[in-house]
């Protein structure tokens, strides 16, 4: 059953103030995104009750964990939540199995939602249960920490940059398991990150923070496709699209269909009909007034210009497009804008040079 998460916090420090008022969906993954020092972790710690905001309100549906107008504050150990930090912080003297079951002890028997076997299978750690933490890789330790948090029967899972301490190989190892959590568990996740690739791959809802304030909050693509926030994403500006595998071609390409048309990617192993998530960077989209007659770029869709905005790169412009209602972004030069007469309402062809298949 879906519910709304209400989070209002004001925390004042000597050189920093967090002042947020958020209404978040009680399902899927909400990413708190921003540069270092933007307030992401402080906001998450306030949700967990690890920091008590002088002015604060936090509720999951009708369950209120903090309301300072009534001096009501539920301490962290009494909140039905799971927290996963950058470091797994496993008990070194306990086996993996006993580390995970430690989380279960926090939950009343009547409220337990998961059992060790199914969570171990979901996270791919069944073969690790009898090992000691020192025998695990960084990615394996994080999966054990997530399992421990889930066995505590949380109503919400809070994750504070869980991949930040991992190298690229370990990040790629653990990301598919985070996607499985997203797909298979009806549990809201608040995910703190400063990595655009993680946000694009995992998030449904995006909150952009800067200097302790909310700059934007909304559905992932709604925020990603805004052209008034170019500095937030710098060279990573782009959109995420949901597509369907339509066919596997004979030349080792897979054809995807989305509302804006069709695109080709390197062969994907998923069966026809599978839904996949793709990322298209603005820097990988070029614009033309007519369909190219001879071009090596296979992906070309009809789109209309919605708006233009300057970027943080001198001489460049960010163009917001719509292809049958699906947002796209293109980063082009001012010279190209003037030469092609690009303006709101113009119909043109968006040539997509590269598509990153995320999942």
pLDDT digits (tens, 9 = 90+) for 38-49: 999 999 999 999
Rounded to the nearest integer, the mean pLDDT of the chain is: 92
Number of domains in the chain: 2
244 with 226, same domain? no
Domain boundary among 181, 203, 232: 232
- Same domain? For 243 and 216 the reply is no
Are residues 19 and 62 in contact, defined by beta-carbon separation less than 8 angstroms? no
List strand residue ranges (DSSP E) for 131-230, in order. 156-160, 189-193, 205-210, 213-219
Q: Bigger pLDDT: 196 or 346?
A: 346
Determine how many CB atoms are found less than 10 A away from the CB of residue 283: 18
Q: What is the pLDDT of residue 231?
A: 64
Q: How many CB atoms lie within 10 A of CB 168?
A: 8
The Cβ-side half-sphere exposure at 119, using a 13 Å CA radius, reads 23
At CA 138, angle to CA 132 and CA 139, rounded to 5?
105
Encoded tokens for 209: 């923070």
- Indicate if 40 and 176 belong to the same structural domain: yes
Residue where the block lists tokens 């030349």? 251
Q: Answer yes or no: do 167 and 259 share one domain.
A: no
CATH number at residue 131: 3.40.50.300
Residues 310 and 288 in one domain: yes
Decide: helix, strand or coil at residue 297: coil
What 8-state DSSP symbol labels residue 38?
A: S
For the whole model, what pTM was predicted?
A: 0.91
Q: Are residues 199 and 257 in the same domain?
A: no
**Residue where a domain stops, chosen among 206, 232, 258:** 232
111-114 CB contacts, 8 Å cutoff, 24+ apart: 111/80, 111/153, 112/151, 112/153, 113/153, 114/150, 114/151, 114/153
Rounded Cα gap, residues 352 and 325, in angstroms:
17
Query: Hey, how many other C-beta atoms are within 10 angstroms of the C-beta on 359?
Result: 15
Residues 227 and 249 in one domain: no
Tracing tokens 């943080």 back to the chain, one arrives at 312
pLDDT of residue 232: 65
Query: Span 263-270, mean pLDDT?
Result: 90
| Domain region containing 117 | 4-232
Same-domain pairing of 65 and 136? yes
């Amino acid at each position: 059953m879906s519910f709304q998460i209400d989070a209002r916090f004001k925390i004042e420090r000597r050189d920093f103030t967090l002042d947020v008022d958020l209404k978040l969906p009680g399902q899927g993954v909400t990413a708190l995104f921003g540069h270092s020092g933007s307030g992401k972790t402080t906001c998450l710690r306030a949700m967990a009750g690890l920091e008590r905001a002088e002015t604060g309100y936090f509720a999951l549906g009708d369950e209120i964990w903090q309301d300072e107008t009534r001096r009501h504050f539920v301490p962290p150990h009494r909140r039905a939540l799971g927290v996963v930090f950058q470091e797994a912080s496993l008990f070194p003297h306990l086996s993996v199995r006993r580390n995970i079951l430690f989380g279960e002890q926090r939950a009343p028997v009547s409220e337990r939602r998961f059992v060790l076997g199914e969570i171990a299978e979901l996270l791919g750690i069944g073969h690790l249960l009898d090992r000691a933490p020192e025998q695990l890789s960084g990615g394996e330790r994080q999966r054990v920490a997530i399992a421990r948090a889930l066995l505590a029967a949380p109503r919400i899972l809070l994750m504070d940059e869980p991949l930040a301490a991992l190298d690229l190989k370990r990040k790629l190892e653990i990301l598919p398991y985070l996607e499985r959590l997203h797909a298979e568990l009806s549990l809201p996740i608040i995910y703190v990150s400063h990595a655009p690739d993680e946000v694009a791959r995992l998030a449904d809802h995006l909150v952009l923070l800067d200097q302790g304030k909310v700059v934007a909050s909304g559905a992932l693509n709604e925020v990603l496709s805004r052209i008034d926030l170019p500095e937030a994403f710098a060279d990573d500006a782009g959109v995420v699209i949901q597509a369907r595998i339509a066919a596997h071609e004979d030349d080792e390409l897979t054809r995807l269909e989305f509302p804006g048309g069709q695109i080709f990617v390197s062969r994907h192993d998923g069966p026809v009909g599978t839904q996949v998530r793709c990322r298209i960077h603005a820097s990988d989209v070029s614009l033309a007034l007519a369909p190219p007659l001879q071009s090596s770029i296979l992906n070309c869709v009809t789109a209309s210009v919605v708006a233009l905005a300057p970027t943080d790169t001198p001489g460049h412009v960010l163009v917001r497009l719509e292809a049958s209602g699906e947002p796209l972004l293109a980063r082009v030069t001012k010279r190209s804008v003037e030469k092609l007469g690009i303006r709101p309402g113009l119909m043109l062809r968006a040539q997509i040079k590269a598509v990153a298949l995320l999942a």
